Amino acid sequence: MDSKVSVCRFFVVLLVSLAMGHQHSAQARLLKDKPDRHNAAATARWLVSQNSWGSLNTISTDLGGAPFGNIVSFSDGEHNSGTGIPYFYLTTLDPTAQNALKDQRSSLTISEYPLGTCGQKDPENPSCAKLTLTGKLKVLKEGSEEAEFAKIALFTKHPEMKGWPKSHNFQFFKLDIEDLFLINWFGGPKPLTVEEYLHPKT
């Protein structure tokens, strides 16, 4: 019986590890519960604080002015103390930073789906929340106060970035938000101003 229990214990430890592994990859940093769906500002801020990556979209002159989406990591602050403003660590070796330096028009698109809280719903189902922040993608002046904030925000959530090659000349960028498009239920996008988003009522 002791050996059965010990085999059993082994499986429990293994499965906890497996479950934690999946949780890590799928739900990294899901530190807050999803807000009430009627609270658009809180929902949008939750999506930005809990997601760590999205599609950052710029205008590509190389591709005839096409909208060019690129997978990037972002951060709006340290864990659970975000400002709602997404910061990025980009190199001009990549087209996104090149595009933004020519034309700042940009959007960041993120989804609730990879957080693992949409259950069995389809990713396009309106009750599986999605958010598009549209604005201007701006490079931050090296050594400025905001660049230092971006550095802490990004390196806290993306520690690997600290070791990225200096020769690639990564720079800190921010998305200066001008418009929000949030779907988190049926009935079309939720009305939400930049002011409401940046200063949400709790």
Nearer to its own copies, 31 or 93 (CB): 93
Rounded CA separation 202/45 (Å): 11
Nearer to its own copies, 84 or 114 (CB): 114
- Can residue 8 be called a binding residue for its own copies (CB under 8 A)? yes
- Can residue 193 be called a binding residue for its own copies (CB under 8 A)? no
Instruction: Give the CA angle between residues 166, 170, 175 to the nearest 5°.
Output: 160
Which of 101, 118, 147, 194 touches its own copies (CB under 8 A)? 118
Q: How far does CA 113 lie from the centroid of its chain?
A: 12
Which of 49, 50, 75, 107 touches its own copies (CB under 8 A)? 107
- Can residue 138 be called a binding residue for its own copies (CB under 8 A)? no
Phi-psi category of residue 67: left, alpha or beta, with phi > 0 → left and psi -120 to 50 → alpha: beta
Helices (H), the chain: 2-27, 40-50, 95-102, 145-157, 194-198
First to last CA, the chain: 54
- Can residue 148 be called a binding residue for its own copies (CB under 8 A)? no
Stretch that binds its own copies, among 4-12, 36-44, 144-152, 192-200 (CB under 8 A): 4-12
Longest dimension (CA), the chain: 71
To its own copies, the closest distance from the beta carbon of 53 in angstroms equals 4
Stretch that binds its own copies, among 57-65, 76-84, 138-146, 193-201 (CB under 8 A): 57-65
Q: Are strands 130-139 and 171-183 parallel, antiparallel or unpaired?
A: antiparallel
174 closest CA partner among 200, 148, 201, 202? 148
Q: Is the dihedral of CA 178, 183, 188, 193 positive or negative?
A: negative
Stretch that binds its own copies, among 7-15, 30-38, 77-85, 145-153 (CB under 8 A): 7-15
Interface residues toward its own copies, by CB under 8 A: 1-2, 4-5, 8-9, 11-12, 15-16, 18-19, 22-26, 52-55, 57-60, 63-73, 89, 93, 95, 105-111, 113-114, 116, 118-125, 130, 132, 134, 158, 160-161, 178-179, 181, 188
